[in-house]
Structure 1
Amino acid sequence: MARFWLDPIRLQESGGFSRPEIVRVHTRVTEQKK
């Protein structure tokens, strides 16, 4: 499980996800926050 802080959005823990997967999740979190 990846963990992100939401304000500001930043990665707390990658949880074994690859870099491309983390980028995809970060993008989704950023879009949902708007």
Structure 2
Amino acid sequence: MTKFVFVTGGVVSSLGKGIASASLAAILESRGLKVTL
């Protein structure tokens, strides 16, 4: 089953969104899930 997570927001900078996405992906991968950014 494919699930999507969208990181949006006007206040957070583009760099902040990238870091948040990468951190979330690392956490999910550590739990054995396949993550594609």
Percent same amino acid at aligned positions?
Answer: 7
Count how many residue pairs are aligned between Structure 1 and Structure 2: 27
Q: Structure 2 regions of 5+ residues with no counterpart?
A: 30-37
Q: Structure 1 regions of 5+ residues with no counterpart?
A: 1-6
RMSD of the TM alignment (CA)?
1.5
Larger radius of gyration: 2
Kindly report structure 1 stretches of 4+ aligned residues shifted beyond 3 Å.
Answer: none
TM, length-normalised to structure 2: 0.54
TM, length-normalised to structure 1: 0.58
